Amino acid sequence: MFDEEHPPPHLPFKHWMRYMAAVPKGFLRYQVLELLNEKPLSDSEITNEIEKTNGCWKPNPGSVYPLLAWLQDIKRFKKHYYNLL
């Protein structure tokens, strides 16, 4: 379909995810930190916000919750409503 002579067109984020076989390593962490930089969110609110990518990406709770637990362990977040310190 696409090759070096015919690369995919530059598309907005929601279309970009369709061309990816998997989410790049570290992308979930980036996305969570971007959301929390805007406002405090609960764990379910974080997941719901990420799912608003027009169905392009729905993160697995098995990856979201361990990430939030890890961020709590390194003292970056308060529990219940996650907020950057």
Is there a domain that residue 50 lies in?
Answer: yes
Sign of the Cα pseudo-torsion (70, 75, 76, 81, in order): positive
User: pLDDT, tens digit, for every residue of 53-85?
Assistant: 766 777 887 888 898 888 888 876 666 666 666
Pairwise CA distance, residues 85 & 81, whole Å: 12
- DSSP per-residue codes, 9-57: PP--HHHHGGG-SSPPTTHHHHHHHHHHHHS-B-HHHHHHHHTTTTTS-
User: pLDDT, tens digit, for every residue of 25-37?
Assistant: 788 888 888 988 8
Pairwise CA distance, residues 35 & 45, whole Å: 10
How many distinct structural domains can be found in the chain? 1
Q: Dihedrals φ, ψ of 34, to 5°?
A: -65, -45
Q: What's residue 3's pLDDT?
A: 63
* Residue 38, domain extent: 13-73
Is there a domain that residue 54 lies in?
Answer: yes
Instruction: State yes or no: pLDDT of 1 exceeds 60.
Output: no
Tell which wins on pLDDT, 10 or 75.
Answer: 75
Reported pTM = 0.60
Is there a domain that residue 44 lies in?
Answer: yes
Q: What's residue 83's pLDDT?
A: 64
Is there a domain that residue 56 lies in?
Answer: yes
